[in-house]
Chains A and B, each alone.
Chain A
């Protein structure tokens, strides 16, 4: 398996623009997580899905952020409109639900909003 695949790897956009981050989880995994990492706040869980259903989105910072998982092999995280403070590395991770599950991370998307 190729692992968790994220795209794009780097994104530079202007403030106010819409940004869409994409993720393909590992085949067979049924939990998917979106994290944001910054120096100041560390690794923050934004939202996670189980069997394509959003379970907890309490980490989503504002209504400007939205996430979807239309099927088991694809998820998106959208920011509209983007702001400079959204600049961070966004990771997608997947796992197979269970008490001993480990999360496998994608390579991340480095977002810069200017």
Chain B
């Protein structure tokens, strides 16, 4: 079992729809959870971080964390073509000098 698993995708949604990206992790000691966005040919950039159970909203993005289920998700409301990218889930146990383990990513395409 991989430490961090994501829906392999690709995921395609129409413009204006809600895109839902999912991630599960295996280490129950994980403390910090991140979503990175990576455009084709670019480096990953952080878009959301979440540390406690529940929802965290930032503009059109909502991160959801459920530590009991070892599950974290990212919702993108009113999806735009500019949201088309690969989304990487990263999990940090708080030890190992800030090392994050990344999932393989889910590629999202938002169709106009």
Contact = CB atoms under 8 A, between A and B. Distances in A.
A55 B94 contact: no
Given A42-B104, A99-B92, A105 B45 contact: yes
Interface in A62-114: 91, 95-108
B105 A103 contact: no
Interface string B10-26: 00000000000000000
Interface in B70-111: 88, 90, 92, 94, 96-105
B51 interface: yes
Contacts, number: 65
Nearest to B104: A42
Given A43-B44, A91-B43, A108-B43, A103 B97 contact: no
Question: Interface centre among A43, A48, A56, A104, by most B CB within 10 Å?
Answer: A43
A50 interface: yes
Question: Interface centre among A42, A55, A106, by most B CB within 10 Å?
Answer: A42
Interface of B: 31-32, 34, 42-46, 49, 51, 88, 90, 92, 94, 96-105
